[in-house]
Chain A
Amino acid sequence: MSRKKERLYHWIFAILAFASLFFLVGISIILFKEGLPIFQKVDFFDFIFGKSWYPTYDPAEFGILPLILASVWVTFGALLVCVPLGIGSALYIHEIAGSKQRAVLKPLIEILAGIPSIIYGFFAMAIMSPFLQKLLNLPTGLCAFTASLVLGIMAVPTVCSLAEDALGFVPNSFREASFAVGANRWQTLTQVVIPAAGSGISTAVILGMSRAIGETMTVLMAAGGAAVIPKSFFEPVRPMTATIAAEMGEAVMGSSHYHALFAIGLILFIITFIFNIAAELISRRFRIKLGLAR
């Protein structure tokens, strides 16, 4: 291959690699540019801590506390589902299962990640919500509980595969040393392997949270969409993502409503950004601890 050609390929791939940086910067700039103007009309604290969201009335009210709390509730609920399921299956697949079981389980869990979110939403709306409504005798099955359950299932593959990676980073010498001093399999798992993989597992949990809080279609279809401060898991709620998805299409461009929706997007972006940075920092520390620093 000629040198010239090699240089050309170098540049092509460099451009491709930097394209994502370009998109990230572009999206951030747009979010700030379109989101910040709302704070000229509404005080920042009134926006974050305001309790009513009536964007199309006159005078309009832009209080997103119910939306933020709804996102927090469903994300927390999702964690209750995806952490035990995800970490439990990672432990089983990596530490306990034989190679045959692993060969079946691992791809199966990964298929779960490949199901489009609209299908989860549809499943939640058409099957789970009427079922839960009858089972628990609720006024409506479209509530934070249903959304949490489905979001939790959706986040299982993320948590599972990252936690499994973390377990894979624990050197086998740790396990061998533990068995050598007479610890059994359970003791080795709970007292050696899990603590050693601990920060890696926390990274998995944080990225699972990031996945749950950013999910849109499912919560739009399953959470009910009432913009009230949630009092119980069995009430309809409206997370931030669902609000943007439902209202952006019809909001008049350049109106306060439009800017307010961008501001919600900005806040969501900042939250997931913090999650991702935290996950990255923790996982870096984890690698150093295990002597795997890059």
Chain B
Amino acid sequence: MSKFGKLLLACFLVSCAVTSAYAGGPFGVDKRRVIIEGSTTVLPIAQAAAETFMRQNQETDVTVRGGGSGVGIASLIDKNCDIADSSRSIKEAEIEKAVGNGVSPKAHVVAMDGICLIVNSSNPISALSRKQASDIFTGKISYWSDLGGKTERIVAISRDTSSGTFEAFGILVLEGQKVRPDALMQASNQAVASTVSRTPGAIGYVGLGYLTPEVKALDIDGIKPSKETVLSGQYPVGRPLFMYTNGVPDGVVRDFIDFIKSDEGQKIANEQGFVALK
């Protein structure tokens, strides 16, 4: 075998050993495990918090999975996960099912999420009602002049249908109505903000953390979007983000929930573009 071949084999063996040690496999010790599943909106907070948490507590192993709020809560009810991420509060039917299965879901608010309507900074409009916003995004209003603005076509910019922001916007503003099919689709909050900043007739929506000086955030129903108004519940397009546990958590699950609620955990939520609770 050549020198190179030997080197390659050595690398392979080392990486095998390392991965199996990390996985708590044959060479590792049993780790304290936490399984988190659910909302893709909460996912970035859970993921980032889990990474820091695992760095600080070497003996723990936190697994974070997406799937959606419904999937997470169903998984908690079936005792397949320890923490269910949810971007909505638990439904009556789910509570009944949980009780039937001997599970008592307990809610922990981990952050708030505010969604802002943004327009190009050249747009004279600075406030809309929720009804007007809904009419724009469902296709009933297509010109800014109908809202007292310029005679310009409205370019509605939406997120891809799988996004959590899209889902929340659909519930809070559109109340379940379908987004106009000719809305532009952008794959991230960032892309929505930059497209709006370059398109004079554009309107889009982004999480509060994505507001930039290049775009103008609109007041909705007369309330200015800010961390304060989202936290106080005045801003109509805000919502709490939850983590559900089975009863009052203990052990490593309690440690993790405490970590997320701590200053450090809240800082992480803030960095991920959400509204921290303190």
Tell me if chain B binds chain A. Answer: yes
A-side residues, CB < 8 A to B, are: 52-57, 66, 126, 129-130, 133, 139-142, 220-221, 224-228, 235-236, 238, 242, 245-247, 249-252, 257
Q: Which residue of A lies closest to B142 (CB)?
A: A139
**Known: A139-B155, A140-B201, A140-B202. Is A251-B162 also a contact (CB below 8 A)?**
yes
B161 contacts chain A at the CB level, 8 A cutoff: yes
Residues of A contacting B167 with CB < 8 Å? 56
- Choose from B163, B181, B201 the contact partner of A226 (Cβ within 8 Å): B181
Q: Say yes or no: A246 contacts B187, CB within 8 Å.
A: yes
- CB nearest neighbor in B for A57: B178
Chain B contacts of A53 at CB under 8 A?
181
- Using an 8 Å CB-CB cutoff, how does the interface string of B33-69 with A read, 1 for contact, 0 for none? 0000000100000000000000000000000001110
B89 within 8 A of A: no
Chain B minimum-CB-distance residue to A133: B199
Nearest-CB distance from B125 to chain A (Å)? 16
Are B185 and A238 in contact (CB-based, < 8 A)?
yes
Chosen A-B contacts, 26 in total, with CB atoms closer than 8 Å, are: A54-B178, A56-B161, A66-B181, A126-B198, A139-B152, A139-B201, A141-B199, A142-B195, A224-B184, A225-B184, A225-B185, A225-B186, A226-B185, A227-B185, A236-B182, A236-B184, A245-B187, A246-B187, A247-B161, A247-B162, A250-B40, A250-B66, A251-B162, A252-B67, A252-B71, A257-B162
Interface of A is mostly: loop
A residues near B163, Cβ cutoff 8 Å:
250
Contacts of A225 in B (CB 8 A): 160, 184-186
Whether, in the assembled complex, B150 has its beta carbon less than 8 Å from a beta carbon of chain A, the answer is no
- How many angstroms between the C-alpha atoms of A226 and B184 in the bound complex? 5
What 1/0 flags go to B63-98 for Cβ under 8 Å of A? 000111001000000000000000000000000000
CA distance A173 to B237 in the complex (A): 76
- B160 CB to closest chain A CB (Å) equals 4
B66 to chain A: closest residue by CB: A250
A142 to B195, CA, bound (A): 9
Leading 8 A-B pairs by shortest Cβ distance: A225-B185, A250-B162, A246-B160, A139-B153, A56-B161, A226-B182, A228-B182, A224-B184
Cα A227 to Cα B161 in complex, Å, equals 11
Closest chain B residue to A251 by CB distance? B162
The answer for the CA separation of A228 and B71 in the assembled complex, in Å, is 31
Q: Which residues of B contact A126 (CB under 8 A)?
A: 198
How distant is A262 from chain B, measured CB to nearest CB, in Å? 15
Q: Nearest chain-B residue to A236 (Cβ)?
A: B184
- In the bound complex, residues from chain A placing their C-beta under 8 Å from that of B199 are 130, 133, 139-142
B277 at the interface (CB under 8 A from A): no
Closest Cβ neighbor of B183 among chain A residues: A226
Chain A residues, CB < 8 A from B182: 226, 228, 235-236
User: With the chains together, A7 CA to B152 CA distance in Å?
Assistant: 73
Tally the A-B contacts, defined by beta carbons under 8 Å: 74
Least distance between A126 CB and chain B CB atoms (Å)? 8
Identify the interface centre among A126, A130, A225: most chain B CB within 10 Å of its CB. Answer: A225
What chain A residues lie within 8 Å of B183 (beta carbons)?
Answer: 226
Chain A residues with Cβ below 8 Å from B186 are 225
Interface residues of B in 120-175 (CB under 8 A from A): 152-153, 155, 160-163, 166-167
Nearest B residue to A129, CB-CB: B198
Do A246 and B185 have beta carbons less than 8 Å apart?
Answer: yes
A251: chain B residues at CB < 8 Å are 162
In the bound complex, what is the Cα–Cα distance between A220 and B191 (angstroms)?
11
Residue of A nearest to B201 (CB): A139
- A142 CA / B186 CA spacing, docked (Å): 11
B214 smallest CB distance to A (angstroms): 13
**A55, A228, A250, A251: residue with the most chain B Cβ atoms closer than 10 Å:** A250
Complex Cα gap A238–B155 (Å): 15
| C-alpha gap A57/B162 in the complex (Å) | 10
Contact partners of B155 in chain A: CB under 8 A: 139-140
Contact assessment for A140 and B184 in the assembled complex, using a CB-CB cutoff below 8 Å: yes
Given contacts A53-B181, A139-B199, 19 further A-B contacts (CB under 8 A): A56-B162, A56-B167, A57-B178, A130-B198, A130-B199, A133-B198, A133-B199, A139-B153, A140-B155, A141-B199, A142-B184, A225-B160, A228-B182, A238-B185, A242-B185, A247-B162, A249-B162, A250-B66, A250-B160
Tell me the bound Cα distance from A225 to B159 in angstroms. 10
A73 to B: closest C-beta gap in Å: 15
Q: How far is the CB of A96 from chain B (nearest CB, A)?
A: 41
Is there contact, CB below 8 Å, between A252 and B185?
Answer: no
From B67, B166, B181, B202, give the contact of A227 (CB < 8 A). B181
Q: Is the CB of A252 within 8 A of B68?
A: yes
**Distance of A141 Cα from B200 Cα, bound (Å):** 11
Contacts of B67 in A (CB 8 A): 252
Q: Can you name the residue of chain A whose Cβ is closest to the Cβ of B67?
A: A252
Cα A241 to Cα B67 in complex, Å, equals: 23
When each residue 185-211 of chain B gets 1 if its CB lies under 8 Å from chain A and 0 otherwise, what string results?
111000100010011011000000000
Residues of A within 8 A of B66 (CB): 250
Chain B residues lying within 8 Å of A252, measured Cβ to Cβ, are 67-68, 71
Give the chain B neighbours of A54 by CB distance below 8 A: 161, 178
> Shortest distance in angstroms between B1's beta carbon and chain A's nearest beta carbon?
12
Chain A nearest CB, measured from B185 CB (Å): 3
